């Protein structure tokens, strides 16, 4: 086996994660030919074949998968060294990236950032509103605020509150269709607004699916803001976090009769030594706790 360029492990991981040369090239910001050349060089140095080309994309061979597993460990250790180095800086300034879902970003985080930035003008914050679970280990974000308990030995999480829901409809909708006789039991015969099938496993979405049935689901969306606008417009009735419900909507089922979701703030264990990340995390936790209604 010849010596290989350690930098080629980055190309290996990009190809494994994107399952294609073109995807890896976009990830690395290089041409497809560069990715292909670096993978060929790595295969030649190691004397093994790393990927098979299939209709589903690049699939690692057994040798390739073993190398990918080792490369992930190398990547995580390199990231840990970088986080430790960053943590030595005492000045509370610089970039902090926060990943969360749309509801929490709009209603619980952004509105509370002004005092933090007033006190620490050197901070540069990025709030990423997204449904996917980003990797703290790979530094895709610095702080994650999630509606699920974190898993992973390198993650540090704390429960900072509970997101409560209500069943809502507009006055115009209720005038046209009437109030349900038993809103906690059956919503058959009503038009419901909810989330698309990919979110059907979530407790609050499953609650509405079970009581209305497929035929009652008049509008599905992948955005809480879209659901709220549909309810305000009289399209149907649906669930909203209580913080997002306008006063113009009527609450048909109170939060205590509906599923709830715990809110978790998560950082990587190495980030606890980074002053700016720790400061922003503590500020967000306090702001969310204060904004939520008491139990």
* Number of structural domains the chain divides into: 3
* Alpha-carbon gap, residue 222 to 227, rounded angstroms: 8
Instruction: Read off the DSSP letter of residue 138.
Output: T
Let me know whether 167 and 255 are in one domain. Answer: yes
pTM, two decimals, is 0.66
Q: Which two tokens stand for residue 40?
A: 């060929």
CA nearest to 162, candidates 266, 256, 272: 256
Per-residue pLDDT of the chain (295 residues; tens, 9 = 90+): 556 788 888 898 999 988 899 888 888 888 889 899 889 988 888 889 999 988 888 999 999 899 988 888 888 888 777 666 655 544 578 899 999 998 899 888 998 898 899 888 899 999 998 877 788 888 889 999 999 888 877 889 999 999 999 999 999 999 999 998 888 888 888 999 998 888 888 999 899 888 887 777 889 898 899 999 999 999 999 999 998 899 999 999 999 999 999 999 999 988 888 889 999 999 999 988 888 866 5
Strand runs labelled E in 77-176: 94-100, 123-129, 143-146, 155-170
Let me know whether 154 and 278 are in one domain. Answer: yes
Domain that holds residue 286: 94-158+267-291
Q: Which two tokens stand for residue 13?
A: 């991981």
Let me know whether 28 and 166 are in one domain. Answer: no
Phi, psi of 172 (to 5 degrees): -65, -40
- Which of 86, 108, 131 terminates a domain? The answer is 86
């Amino acid at each position: 086996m010849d010596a290989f360029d350690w930098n080629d492990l980055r190309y290996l991981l990009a190809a494994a994660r994107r399952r294609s040369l073109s995807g890896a090239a976009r990830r690395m910001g290089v041409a497809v030919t560069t990715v292909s050349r670096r993978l060929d060089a790595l295969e030649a140095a190691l004397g093994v074949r790393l990927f098979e080309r299939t209709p589903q994309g690049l699939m690692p061979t057994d040798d390739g998968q073993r190398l990918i597993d080792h490369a992930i460990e190398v990547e995580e250790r390199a990231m840990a060294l970088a986080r430790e180095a960053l943590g030595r800086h005492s000045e509370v300034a610089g970039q902090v990236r926060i990943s969360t879902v749309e509801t929490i970003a709009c209603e619980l985080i952004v509105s509370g950032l002004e005092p933090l930035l007033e006190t620490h003008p050197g901070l540069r914050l990025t709030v990423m509103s997204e449904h996917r679970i980003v990797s703290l280990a790979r530094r895709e974000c610095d702080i994650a605020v999630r509606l699920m308990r974190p898993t992973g030995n390198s993650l540090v999480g704390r429960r900072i509150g509970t997101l409560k829901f209500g069943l809502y409809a507009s006055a115009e909708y209720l005038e046209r269709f009437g109030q349900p006789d038993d809103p906690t039991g059956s919503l058959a015969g009503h038009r419901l607004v909810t989330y698309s099938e990919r979110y059907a496993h979530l407790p609050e979405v499953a609650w509405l699916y079970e009581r209305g049935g497929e035929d009652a689901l008049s509008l599905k969306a992948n955005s809480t803001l879209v659901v709220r606008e549909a309810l305000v417009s009289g399209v149907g009735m649906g669930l909203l976090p209580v913080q997002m419900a306008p006063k113009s909507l009527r609450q048909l089922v109170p939060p205590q009769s509906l599923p709830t979701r715990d809110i978790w703030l998560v950082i990587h264990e190495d980030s606890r030594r980074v002053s700016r990340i720790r400061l922003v995390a503590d500020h967000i936790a306090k702001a969310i706790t204060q904004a939520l209604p008491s139990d």
